[in-house]
Structure 1
Amino acid sequence: MTEFITHDTVSTRYWHTLDDGRIQCDLCPRFCKLHKDQRGLCFVRQNLDGQVVMTSYGRSSGFAIDPIEKKPLNHFLPGTPVFSFGTAGCNLACKFCQNWDISKSREMDTLMGQVSPEAIAQAALAHGCDSVAYTYNDPVVFHEYAIDTAQACRSLGLKSVAVSAGYVCEQPRAEFYQWMDAANIDLKAFTEDFYHKITGSHLQPVLETLQYIKQETSVWLELTTLIIPGENDSEAELEAMTQWVVENLGADVPMHFTAFHPDWKMLDKPRTPVSSLLQARQIALKNGVHYAYIGNTHDKSADSTYCHGCGKLLIGRDWYELSEWNLDTQACCRFCGEPCAGVFKPQPGNWGGETASGGDGTIRL
């Protein structure tokens, strides 16, 4: 049970005291070593009174109802609405961050008022959502709040979706993912040099998280890679990445290759050309990935799902709106009977179409 210190500050478990009196946070592989009252790089975990506390419990940066495809998850309850929220702070330092106003926020008072895990679960249920997504900033840094919310959701029959960079240590990772039902993990690149210089982190812990989720949990997993011109878009890197995915995670893990736009501290790079996204997708398919998509751009063909058995169109997508649906009630191809990997209802939802026709889904509690 979460132990409150103040209404938005809670005790945490993953830390230990060093010989020099500092406290080391053991939540993620950054292992911040904190003097008295010092905050970690994430800014929301602090050495307070001889322990590491989370200072943003229950404080959200906003709520929205999104199509699940926006996370992006194409094989988890397609067409259904997901209740999305985040807090502030992040344990990475990506120069290209496209949510930097949230993830790098130091203005805690700009966060919304106190919202309990139970209130989030009840609001998601009341708005007809099938799941709740922990997103906008990385849920690793609001570990306790996310887990408490996921527990409240599970008690109401709601699913939980993590949108994360996967940079988390072994014990907190196991605790976190026992409460998740699906995850989209950012595999930001496939070189240590990229991770170290551009994100301030390391590649290997992310790969370990991916293998853990796929091999030791029942969590539905999809991957996203933001393709940045001149940084992670070489043919050799994409070959190595997609081969590793097939060999270590399996051919059924969907991959999303999304377009970069200049932001935060990376304003000197051009937008990703669609040709680069299509090349990444083709390399993935060539290397045996069954489901590969492009994102942050409009291409109905490359956003749609095809049967890896007969090649026929299974799920048509136009932005977030579903069109063709050629899965039977057992999630098999209507043409050849090949199963389509994922978590599906007998019939798809239509939330993407509703969103496209009116409103951005933003709500207040």
Structure 2
Amino acid sequence: MKEAMLYERLKDKEVRCQLCSHRCKIKPEKTGICGVRKNVDGTLYSLVYGRVIARHVDPIEKKPLFHFLPGSRSYSIATVGCNFRCDFCQNFEISQMPRDQGIIMGDTMSPEEIVAEAKEARAKTISYTYTEPTIYFELAYDCARLAVEEDIRNVFVSNGYMTKEALETIRPYLHAANIDLKGDDRFYRRHCGARQSPVLETLKNLKEMGIWLEVTTLLIPGENDSLDLVRELARFIKEELGPGTPWHLSRFYPRYHLTGLPPTEVEKLAAARQIALEMGLRYVYTGNVPGDPGEKTYCYACGRVIIDRFGFTITDYHLDEGRCSFCGAEIDGVWS
């Protein structure tokens, strides 16, 4: 175990975790909502520091990040645990392991070993992903600091529920993030055990801090796929984050506790994408539909395809130092 960052000691050996927006008040010998931060005699500890449950070398497009070092490799890690309890979780076997099984598993790895493996894999980035990086913040923070020394950048793939204190702490070492914007407040309360407003604040904070940001929404039939909600979320992204913020609309497949629902109709994804484009967003993508036209990056100025993709693979590329090779328009992103 490693002593946690970002908590305060209270009376009677209770502590308050300040890492995520639940701000759990934790009694002695109890854990927070995430199940991986435990109060031991008045000191808060991380139970997952250096316990890596998953590690892979992925294309950066899998995060998904389409406008951040496209075509590069991202060394990707996770521990068990999450501060949400999404009933549609795509990685529930590891994210919900502490809650559903009452156990914590993972291979023992130091930050030095993680960064060394990333370097050996010739990865341009380390992505903290698959579960929720906020809950293994201490490990991510130590890895991120070492990674920067090796000219490796850092990426959070997150539900966006971290506090501003956590974001300000990791800020010097965090270069990009993909944040889930899952739905309206009712959806968050019903399906995730959380609220929407802290996520909106995180999105705005990331933008203000100059960290490259992309947003993902998994469209679930009958739950968060109304076109009125699409308009509402698109309006927030455009007005608060800027029209150059990429938005990924992903197809739902039945998982975990929502196995009774059908996959998202491809036509519904296409309609949602078209609405978001009409609302003024420059880059709107459809995910989990390999070969769909919505995987491509189009120049917002001339309409030509400037990055052609099939799944996570780039098949054609027409950018010259961040500008459209056809018309010269500057394309939002981090390209080198």
Q: Shorter-chain TM-score: which interval? A: over 0.9
State the distance in 1 between where 2:173 and 2:122 align: 21
1:181 to 148, 166, 175: 175
The gaps in structure 1 that reach 5 residues or longer are 1-8, 346-365
Residue 258 of structure 1 pairs with residue 250 of structure 2: yes
1:133 to 127, 138, 142: 127
Q: Counterpart of 2:221?
A: 229
Aligned pairs for 1:1-365 (under 5 A) are 9-19=1-11, 21-106=13-98, 108=103, 110-112=105-107, 114-189=108-183, 191-215=184-208, 217-328=209-320, 330-345=321-336
Aligned partners of 1:300 and 1:317 also within 8 Å: no
State the distance in 1 between where 2:17 and 2:217 align: 28
1:132-188: CA deviation from partner (whole Å, max 9, x where unpaired) = 100011100011100100011000000111100010112112112331111000011
1:108-141: CA deviation from partner (whole Å, max 9, x where unpaired) = 45311x2111111111111111111000111000
State the distance in 2 between where 1:151 and 1:55 align: 21
2:41 maps to amino acid? D
> Identity percentage over the alignment?
38
TM-fit CA distance, 1:200: 0.4
Q: Counterpart of 1:350?
A: none
Range 267-276 or range 306-315, more displaced: 267-276
State the distance in 1 between where 2:256 and 2:200 align: 26
State the distance in 2 between where 1:13 and 1:36 align: 17
2:265 maps to amino acid? P
Counterpart of 2:324 in 1: which secondary structure? coil
2:105 maps to amino acid? T
State the distance in 1 between where 2:9 and 2:154 align: 33
State the distance in 1 between where 2:33 and 2:163 align: 16
1:211-261: CA deviation from partner (whole Å, max 9, x where unpaired) = 00001x221110000000111111111101101100000011000000111
Aligned partners of 1:88 and 1:108 also within 8 Å: no
The gaps in structure 2 that reach 5 residues or longer are none
- Which structure carries more relative contact order (alpha carbon 8 Å, separation 6+)? 1
2:159 maps to amino acid? A
TM-fit CA distance, 1:21: 4.6
Counterpart of 1:251 in 2: which secondary structure? coil
Aligned partners of 1:138 and 1:163 also within 8 Å: yes
Counterpart of 2:23 in 1: which secondary structure? coil
TM-fit CA distance, 1:304: 0.3
State the distance in 2 between where 1:20 and 1:158 align: 43
Q: 1:319 to 1:244 in 2, by over 3 A?
A: same
| TM-score with structure 2 setting the length | 0.96
2:322 maps to amino acid? A
State the distance in 2 between where 1:177 and 1:269 align: 39
2:70 maps to amino acid? P
Counterpart of 1:110 in 2: which secondary structure? coil
1:64 maps to amino acid? H
State the distance in 2 between where 1:332 and 1:213 align: 24
RMSD (Å), alpha carbons: 1.2
